[in-house]
């Protein structure tokens, strides 16, 4: 509850009038002061009444690429049986406050408002709750309240088409790459039979025990595996002011999304890791791009931890102790020599290492200590540099 400047003036005037009336013996002043105090009490009682509102919010779609359209449909109903509600309402949409007209919303009636979600920037847009401000007719007191829950809209980075991704040294059994090595098919799990499964994969012992056809599902460990390491340290992007994002980091997110979708088009296993520790990886029937792109939409720059240990050192140590991959792709801002040195220590785990620096004004050398180096000012130029690499 907030007392407006007018309400403060009325309260002070009422106190002064009542005190002066009693002190100097003027009953009229006491009456006027008492009337002013009564008006203030009426204002307090008026705003304390809580309208019974039902808020339903629909967002369609809740996941979009940067620049695509997304809209919110907000329906506010007055669930009261007797009283109409005259309120000032605002729905939060990211950093904006969207006005919602609730002028004399009668009992049992509803009003609907539709407005667009800003999608010009990558990120997660939080929508809601509805903030309702109740104000008395004299403008003495206001009381804000929140109604309804919140929704979120994931705005994905812009994706630029890439012609191909590096296959690495492993071989695919699906015909993507020739010369298949032996011993690369591994049993993964048992599942129920679906139309189209080969009968030679039926596990008859389990089928006889449970009374349903069960088939063996195998995991192809020979498919090339890409690991994308996205640098989300603020120190990696000198153009990033404290508390704000960086255009170079936005370009790095665009590059990561472009590589991810190119890998999915070729049905190649891919893992996404952020230097801060978050990661996304999916296999089998659960393999979709949603969790990868959600992670990219939620990515923000992080400052160095209180321990003083560089987050990149921790990330490199984690990759060194994880299962090896064919190709490691490190996306960062203008390159720092110490960062390239740490990434170079992973050559034993990842035969192919690609380092892409975004936001760089000067071209990078074509190779350095067994690593392929790419430099681009933005995501679009990165796609051109990527497709210009021979052999992919």
What are 153-197's pLDDT values in tens digits? 999 999 999 988 876 544 443 444 433 343 445 566 788 888 888
Q: 338: which 2 tokens?
A: 């110490």
Closest CA to 128 of 101, 146, 103, 109: 146
pLDDT tens track for 354-365: 999 998 665 555
Q: In sequence order, which residues have a C-beta less than 8 Å from that of residue 92 and are 6 or more positions away? A: 98, 126, 127, 128, 129, 130, 131
Highest mean pLDDT among 110-114, 151-155, 204-208, 367-371 belongs to 151-155
| DSSP designation for 306 | T
CATH 1.10.1060.10 for domain 226-387: no
| DSSP designation for 43 | H
Distance, C-alpha 222 to centroid of its chain: 33
Angstrom distances, CA of residue 218 to CA of 189, 190, 289: 7, 9, 22
Note the pLDDT of residue 342. 87
Q: Where are the domains of the chain?
A: 2-48, 53-156, 185-220, 226-387
Highest mean pLDDT among 161-170, 180-189, 292-301, 311-320 belongs to 292-301
What pTM was computed for the model?
0.76
Q: How far apart are the C-alpha atoms of 336 and 347, rounded to whole Å?
A: 18
DSSP count for the chain of H helices, then E strands: 8, 19
Note the pLDDT of residue 283. 60
Is residue 107 over pLDDT 50?
A: yes
Fold: same for 53-156 and 226-387: no
- Is residue 18 classed as helix, strand or coil in its secondary structure? helix
The class level of CATH for 53-156 reads mainly beta
């Amino acid at each position: 509850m907030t007392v407006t400047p007018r309400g403060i003036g009325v309260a002070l005037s009422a106190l002064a009038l009542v005190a002066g009336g009693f002190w100097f013996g003027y009953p009229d002043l006491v009456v006027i002061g008492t009337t002013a105090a009564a008006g203030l009490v009426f204002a307090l009682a008026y705003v304390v009444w809580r309208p019974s509102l039902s808020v339903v919010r629909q967002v369609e779609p809740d996941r979009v690429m940067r620049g695509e359209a997304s809209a919110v449909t907000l329906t506010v109903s007055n669930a009261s049986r007797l009283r109409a509600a005259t309120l000032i309402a605002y729905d939060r949409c990211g950093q904006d406050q969207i006005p919602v007209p609730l002028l004399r919303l009668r009992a049992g009636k509803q009003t609907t408002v539709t407005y667009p979600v800003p999608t010009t920037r990558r990120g997660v847009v939080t929508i809601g709750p509805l903030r309702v401000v109740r104000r008395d007719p004299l403008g003495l007191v206001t009381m804000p309240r929140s109604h309804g829950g919140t929704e979120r809209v994931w705005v994905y980075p812009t994706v630029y088409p890439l012609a191909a991704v590096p296959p690495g040294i492993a071989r695919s059994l699906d015909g993507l790459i020739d010369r298949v090595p032996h011993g690369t098919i591994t049993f993964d799990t048992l599942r129920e039979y679906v139309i189209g499964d080969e009968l030679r994969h039926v596990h008859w012992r389990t089928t006889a025990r449970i009374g349903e056809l069960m088939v063996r599902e195998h995991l192809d460990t020979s498919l090339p595996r890409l690991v994308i390491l996205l640098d989300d340290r603020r120190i990696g992007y000198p153009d990033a002011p404290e508390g704000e994002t960086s255009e170079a980091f936005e370009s790095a997110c665009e590059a990561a999304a472009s590589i991810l979708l190119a890998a999915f088009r070729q049905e190649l296993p891919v893992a996404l890791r952020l230097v801060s520790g978050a990661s996304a990886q999916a296999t089998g029937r659960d393999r979709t791009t949603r969790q990868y792109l959600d992670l990219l939409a939620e990515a923000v720059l992080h400052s160095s931890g209180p321990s003083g240990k560089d987050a990149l050192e921790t990330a490199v140590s984690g990759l060194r102790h994880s299962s090896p991959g064919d190709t490691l792709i490190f996306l960062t801002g203008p390159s720092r020599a110490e960062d390239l040195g740490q990434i170079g220590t992973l050559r034993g785990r990842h035969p192919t290492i690609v380092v892409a620096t975004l936001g760089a004004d000067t071209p990078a050398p074509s190779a350095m200590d067994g690593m392929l180096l790419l430099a681009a000012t933005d995501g679009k130029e990165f796609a051109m540099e990527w497709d210009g690499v021979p052999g992919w």
